[in-house]
Amino acid sequence: MTALLDAIAGIANAAEPLPGIVTGGQPQAAHLTALKGAGCEVVLDTRDPMEPRPMQEPEAVAALGMEYICVPVGHTRGDDATLAKIRAVIQSCAGKRKLFYHCASGNRSAAALIPYLILDEGMEEQDAVDAAMRLGLRSAELMEWALDYVRSNRKS
């Protein structure tokens, strides 16, 4: 287990799908402090800013000196620009900066990770879906949205 994954122990669906990138559900303030101590630099939140939260996460992250990015993902299919933004954040961090990527439970963040896993990491579709399921994906609709994005953005 890495220090980054240790930092999010107790978070729903906590996982480290890629080196330096941990995913899961809603963190508590103690998790953010532990993430900072483990070298995390960026927090990517896919919840809508109006969703209930146990703390003011943007302020808590900033106070710890980390970067906070919010790219809201709904509970139903969204537009491709949303997946493109999330993919760009992950691309900018992968191998360079440690990232905690989350939603409330892991469902939305897992779904929106599928395009990166396939298009950037070269995973086969079924392997990426299986990985997303292990990360908390439960929505067939979000999975199909992610796979449709992959199909429309795959280089021939």
Q: What is the pLDDT of residues 117-154, one digit of tens each?
A: 999 999 999 999 999 999 999 999 999 999 999 999 99
Range of the domain at 16: 3-153
Against a cut of 0.85, is the pTM above it? Answer: yes
| pLDDT score recorded for residue 156 | 59
- DSSP per residue, the chain: --HHHHHTTTSTT-EEEETTEEEESPPPHHHHHHHHHTTEEEEEE-S-TTS--SS-HHHHHHHTT-EEEE----SS---HHHHHHHHHHHHHHTTTSEEEEE-SSSHHHHHHHHHIIIIIT---HHHHHHHHHHTT---HHHHHHHHHHHHHH---
CATH label of the domain that carries residue 74 = 3.90.190.10
Q: What is the pLDDT of residues 61-113, one digit of tens each?
A: 999 999 999 999 999 999 999 999 999 999 999 999 999 999 999 999 999 99
- How many folded domains does the chain comprise? 1
